A and B are shown apart, each in its own frame.
Chain A
Amino acid sequence: MKNHPVLTYVVKRIALYILTIWGAFTIAFFFFHSVPGDPIGAYVRSMEQRYGQRIQDSEQIIQAWRKSMGLDGPLWYQYLQYLDHVLLHFDLGPSFVNFPTPAQKYIFEAMPWTVGLLGLATVISWVLGFIFGGILGWKRDSPVASGVTGLSLVFSQVQPYFMALALLSLFAWKLALFPRRGAFDPSIPKAFTWQFILSVIQHGTLPALSLVLTTAFGWVISTRAMVVSILGEDYLIYAKAKGLKGSAILRNYVLRNAMLPQITGLAISLGFILNGAILVETIFQYPGMGFLLTNSISQLDYNTVQGIMLLSIVLVMTATLLLDLLMPLIDPRVGRQGSA
């Protein structure tokens, strides 16, 4: 290993990846369990409500539930038990609300909606932002460009959930052009029919727009800054001296160099996708992981919430791990030392 620097680096980096995931999850676990809530009590109450009668002889039943939900014994024991379930059995534990269905079933059901909606919206925003940011940076001296830059700066600070509220009340409530909640019309059978696909697109438009119309401006600003800083490089003077046309310089020199750091940014924001999903999905009651999360929190469904948090941590860490491992291959300027 000693005489193989690349291998040493990769092994070290992966060890750090595992350590960080473990640490982040452990902090989250103990923080989460320090909350003074009583999930079993909440579960019993919801059962009583559902069946309209009091549960007899509850102490014994509660003990049994406690055990099967992994909530018996001291906190450290619960923690070890949880790790054992997750690592050795790939089991996130039963969902409390829909006991005894395992939590991962609900998480995996919700995942495609979040990945589809937010992944697509994030990529669209990035592409739009990269194109317009590139143009604004290239034309940085024109008054129109600086005006548009100023406006983009303001719009980049409009949060997706503000946009979601505005779009929802305007287009779904006032004008009634789009559906108000959900991801598809439940009266249409779930199948690959045009009717169903159309309904999915209809339901996804407003949530996606609320992300695109806000985050795209953030990409505009960062791409513009990147392009402007590249415009100060010496190799552009050389390219100009060679007699290259402006459009060729923009395409082959400026945008190419601006693209790598922006792709890094895209990968990281794809990793953080869940953060953006929580509020927007909750506002539109879109059945993705963000909405599942807020629902599970309000019902104290520990296992589902922990599962989603674990998944989110793994997602972010994997995105950065892949970047760190792949960047030196793509960009020769990134040294292996620099990326640590």
Chain B
Amino acid sequence: MRSLFLRSRLFAVGVLILGLLILIALLQPFINRLLIGNTDPLAMGTFDTMLEPSREHLLGTDKWGRDWAALLVLGLRYSLVIGFLSGTVATLISVILGFVSGYKGGRLDSVLRTLTDMVLVIPALPILITVAAYIKFFSIVAMALLLALFSWAFGMRTIRAQVLSLRARPYVDLARVSNLNDMQIIFEELVPNLLPFLGVALASSTAVAILAETGLELIGVGPGGNIITLGLMVNFAQSWGSLALGYYALLFAPVVALILIFVSMNLINMGLEEVFNPRLKRVTGG
């Protein structure tokens, strides 16, 4: 892991940005206290409305008198929770199916591969919009599961391809003739070698989930209730016409936070690929 940081600057920068964002999300209760004391960030009418950014309100306040910076930290927390929850579930699905498909091969492999291709081409957003629009109560977990259902296919293909190539390596044959069973081979020989690809699958499915959630919020069919995400903040800022009226912080703060999330995930992916894809290493390593 340490050498990974040294070998890829992209990876290091990506982990640094993402780590910082996660830290902010984890420390949300403390940061909230620093920003606005013991006030509920979601409570309306706490402050004057539509204030410009200032010492007291770093990003100003919104139309309902809420501190935008405190909301941003809370929104970041919810967005990351939804993203990682969904990304983890999606990665689990893709790992299980990818392993079964790649390791067992044969007829089962063809069936699973065709199923994956089907899920890959289903236009997910229309279905997500429909489901989100007509189910009244939507918990964070339900949202994450729904997003995961449509974001595992890409990771499954990556992992299956890797399992296929790893399976043919001599050390796996060695493990097989030394009478290790399938589970032992998978967990002791294959999984350690696949960790970087699991990282790629996790980072990309998490990014896809956050992206989709933001899309749903923009159309106005997010989880609702008291759940404020970065996407919902973009939606609010847009509906108040904040750019046209000159309240730039309201729109740009959540947009920048989202872009930072996407950039960091992308950097991590590119870094992992740079280190573990030998075809690229020859050039970039030199």
User: A76 interface residue, CB < 8 Å from B?
Assistant: no
Q: Which residues of B contact A225 (CB under 8 A)?
A: 270, 280
User: A159 interface residue, CB < 8 Å from B?
Assistant: yes
Q: Which residues of B contact A228 (CB under 8 A)?
A: 280, 283-284
Query: B259 near A316 (CB under 8 angstroms)?
Result: no
Q: Name A167's closest neighbour in chain B (CB-CB).
A: B243
Interface size class of B (residues with CB under 8 A): 35 or more
Q: Would A313 and B122 be within 8 Å (CB), given that A32-B130, A169-B243, A228-B283 are in contact?
A: yes
Query: Which of the segments A65-73, A250-258, A272-280 contacts the partner chain?
Result: A272-280
Binding site for B on A (CB under 8 A): 16, 19-20, 23-24, 27-28, 31-32, 35-37, 153-154, 156-159, 161-162, 165-166, 169-170, 173-174, 225, 228-229, 231-232, 274-275, 278-279, 282-283, 293-294, 297-298, 300, 305, 308-309, 312-313, 316-317
Q: Which residues of A contact B258 (CB under 8 A)?
A: 159, 162
Q: Name A19's closest neighbour in chain B (CB-CB).
A: B114
Query: B121 near A20 (CB under 8 angstroms)?
Result: yes
Query: Which of the segments B40-48, B131-139, B165-173 contacts the partner chain?
Result: B131-139
Query: A165 near B125 (CB under 8 angstroms)?
Result: no
Query: A24 near B133 (CB under 8 angstroms)?
Result: no
Q: Name A162's closest neighbour in chain B (CB-CB).
A: B255
Binding site for A on B (CB under 8 A): 114-115, 117-119, 121-123, 125-127, 129-131, 133-135, 211, 214-215, 218-219, 234, 238, 241-244, 251, 255, 258-259, 262-263, 266-267, 270, 279-280, 282-284
Q: Which residues of A contact B266 (CB under 8 A)?
A: 153, 156-157
Query: A297 near B114 (CB under 8 angstroms)?
Result: no
Query: A24 near B121 (CB under 8 angstroms)?
Result: yes
Q: Name B261's closest neighbour in chain A (CB-CB).
A: A157
Query: A28 near B219 (CB under 8 angstroms)?
Result: no
* Residue of B126, B134, B241 with highest tally of chain A CB at under 10 A: B126
Query: A297 near B123 (CB under 8 angstroms)?
Result: no
Q: Would A27 and B118 be within 8 Å (CB), given that A225-B280, A305-B126 are in contact?
A: yes
A319 CB, min distance to chain B CBs, angstroms: 10
Q: Would A35 and B134 be within 8 Å (CB), given that A161-B215, A229-B280, A232-B282 are in contact?
A: yes
B246 CB, min distance to chain A CBs, angstroms: 8
Q: Which 3 A-B pairs have the closest CB atoms?
A: A169-B243, A173-B244, A157-B262
Q: Which residues of A contact B123 (CB under 8 A)?
A: 28, 274-275, 308-309, 312-313
Q: Which of A158, A297, A308 contacts B259 (CB 8 A)?
A: A158
Query: B127 near A169 (CB under 8 angstroms)?
Result: no
